[in-house]
Amino acid sequence: MPRGDITSSQASRIRLYLLGMSPDASVARELWLCGARGPRGTYCAYRDCIQQRKQAAAVVAQSRTAFQGAAGEGGGGIGGALPRAAANLQSLPATVKYSFEGVKHVLAEATYPVTALCFAALRNDLMAFGCADGELWRAVLPPAAASGQAQPTCTKARKMHCGAVTAVDWAFDNSQLLSVGNDGSLCVWDPEDPTFPCIRSVCAPTTSFLCGRFHRVNFSLAMVGTSAGAVEVFNCSTGMLHSRYQVTLSGSAVRVTALDSSNHHVFVGDSAGVLHWLTCELHGRQLSRLKPAGKLRLATNGAGSGAGGGGHAGAAVTAVQYVPFCRTTDTPVLMVAQQDGSLCIVRANEVRHTADLYLRRVVAPAVVSGVAVLSSGASSRSRAAGPGQATPAAATAATAATPLLRFCPTVCPLSVIQDVPLITYGSDDTAVYIVDVTARSFCGPAVPGGSRGGGGGGHGTATGAPFSERPVNVTVLKAHRAVVTAVAWTYDEALLASADAEGTVVLWRRCRLF
């Protein structure tokens, strides 16, 4: 039958028959249909992205042709030098590629320490941050083409958290914003509404929520880690508890302190220094359950640490970040940070449901940061003087305060694809460090100020092994007057945001080399 003679009803029946032959195609087709209903649906967004990439590629091709023509006519003048410079971009050292023009904006609306900070997905003009007093802020940044006098617009949401905001996360289409508080409250916000309203609120007064994130595929589900050592999944549409999974032994006082997810797994870190991963099982095109797949103990080199509690239990996991691809390992990786200052790169094999430790580097112990913030409140005048002056009682108090302010580094989004993984973190010396975790510097014995290498952020070596390996500093940014508590990158690495214990958020503008 000719294609033009097929009626709409016949085409519909043929489509249903073909989709019935392949369940995977049926699921994919349903996702496209669901996405096409709204102006920002999955299909529309994907189509717009492809069109933008094609237009950008056409402009680059025209520019390259013009430069080549100018080089041929001018005998290697300026027109011929630019393509060679662009081609040598990857060969530049990281210290040159990660240079900054300076501070672009300073947000000083908050008065309490910033505990959570996050940019919107695929946008560099929208961000949100939460504070230790439970306040949540939305910041809309002026576009890059705006004048230098344009200032960001900050909106404070209605206070829904009685305790510190421990995590904020955006949905993949930025239509919803998730905030989690350590008082056992979970809120879903509408960031597109000018009034910034709360559209869903969940409260669990018997426990504390220490971390939270939307499910990577279905943002109608929110996953939180509790102080009871469990992962709870909530339905954001109804506010009901979808499921609950006890990750650690009940009554062991081990808490779930960090989590992240991929399309197939949920990665969980606890306060005993153990990394767990759970498999997502789908049934009827929905998340059916999470099945335990394995765990990895992140040891502290067999020696005691200020927050680790000895060689049998590692320091608490403070941050887990899933990276879909890393050029160095040619696999998906997890960036895991521990409270004793350890930065771990873990290779994840999602097909075999396994993970192994690839490397570990040590930075300044985060316990000292906890002492500094705890003792100073919203000021940096009385923060801890150094790693060698932290008493055991102060270390214990800092460990108890880690849900409020903790060592939370982040991966530079493009570094894992282009070159080597670079990690950004804030330190108690009010500086922001970008470090290369693959290059290492060897430090001497643990003595006050006994660092011999180029890394480590200017602090002494961490207690533990006689010699420790530290990453090499790439860039050091200094503009804060208090302990830096949170950092975040935009998706294109155009802006870096850092927040401190005085509630100040600094936006750094990265240099454009070419």
What is the DSSP code string of 273-287? SEEEEEEEEEETTEE
The stretch 315-320 carries a mean pLDDT of 94
Whether pTM exceeds 0.75: no
Q: What does the pLDDT read at residue 89?
A: 63
On the question of pLDDT at 134 being above 50, the answer is yes
Of residues 232 and 309, more confidently modeled: 232
On the question of pLDDT at 451 being above 60, the answer is no
Q: How far apart are CA 241 and CA 224, in angstroms?
A: 11
Q: What does the pLDDT read at residue 501?
A: 94
- pLDDT tens digits, one per residue of 398-422: 344 334 346 899 999 999 988 788 9
pLDDT band of residue 286 (cuts 50, 70, 90) is: confident
Q: How far apart are CA 84 and CA 86, in angstroms?
A: 5
pLDDT band of residue 426 (cuts 50, 70, 90) is: very high
Q: How far apart are CA 339 and CA 366, in angstroms?
A: 5
Q: Do the Cβ atoms of 376 and 482 come closer than 8 Å?
A: yes
Helices 42-74 and 78-87: crossing angle in degrees, nearest 10, is 130
Amino acid at 149: Q
The backbone region for 7, taken as left when phi is positive above 0, alpha when psi lies in -120 to 50, beta otherwise, is beta
Amino acid at 437: V
Token pair of 361 as six digits: 């580097």
Q: Whose CA is closest to 298, among 355, 260, 244?
A: 355
Q: What does the pLDDT read at residue 299?
A: 72
Q: What does the pLDDT read at residue 363?
A: 86
Of residues 277 and 445, more confidently modeled: 277
Q: Whose CA is closest to 116, among 213, 5, 221?
A: 213
Cα-Cα-Cα-Cα dihedral sign, residues 112, 113, 116, 117? positive
The stretch 354-367 carries a mean pLDDT of 80
For residue 442, how many other CB atoms are within 10 A of its CB?
12
On the question of pLDDT at 449 being above 60, the answer is no
> Which value, to the nearest 10 degrees, does the dihedral of the CA atoms of residues 215, 217, 218, 222 take?
0
Share of the chain above pLDDT 90, in %: 51
Of residues 395 and 40, more confidently modeled: 40
Q: Say which range, 33-42, 393-402, 490-499, 502-511, has the weakest mean pLDDT.
A: 393-402
For residue 497, how many other CB atoms are within 10 A of its CB?
25
For strands 209-214 and 221-226, give the pairing. Answer: antiparallel
Q: What does the pLDDT read at residue 13?
A: 81
Q: What is the three-state SS of 15-51? A: HHHHHHHCHHHHHHHHHHHHHHCCCCCHHHHHHHHHH
On the question of pLDDT at 388 being above 50, the answer is no
pLDDT band of residue 334 (cuts 50, 70, 90) is: very high
The stretch 417-430 carries a mean pLDDT of 90
- pLDDT tens digits, one per residue of 18-60: 777 766 555 555 555 554 444 445 566 666 777 776 777 776 6
Q: How far apart are CA 226 and CA 234, in angstroms?
A: 13
Q: Whose CA is closest to 432, among 494, 474, 398?
A: 474
The stretch 170-179 carries a mean pLDDT of 95
Query: Could you tell me the residue ranges of all domains in the chain?
Result: 1-37, 94-510
Of residues 395 and 214, more confidently modeled: 214
Q: Say which range, 28-32, 168-172, 438-442, 483-487, has the weakest mean pLDDT.
A: 28-32
Angle of CA points 347, 349, 257, to nearest 5°: 60
Average pLDDT over all residues of the chain: 78
Q: What does the pLDDT read at residue 224?
A: 97
Q: What does the pLDDT read at residue 184?
A: 95
For the ranges 215-219, 260-264, 283-287, the maximum mean pLDDT occurs at 260-264
Q: How far apart are CA 78 and CA 80, in angstroms?
A: 5
On the question of pLDDT at 159 being above 70, the answer is yes
CATH superfamily of 94-510: YVTN repeat-like/Quinoprotein amine dehydrogenase (2.130.10.10)
Token pair of 232 as six digits: 């709870």
Tell me which residue has tokens 């108090």.
Answer: 397
User: What DSSP assignment string belongs to 69-128?
Assistant: HHHHHHTSSHHHHHHHHHHTTTTS-HHHHT-EEEEEEEE----S-EEEEEEPTT-SSEEE
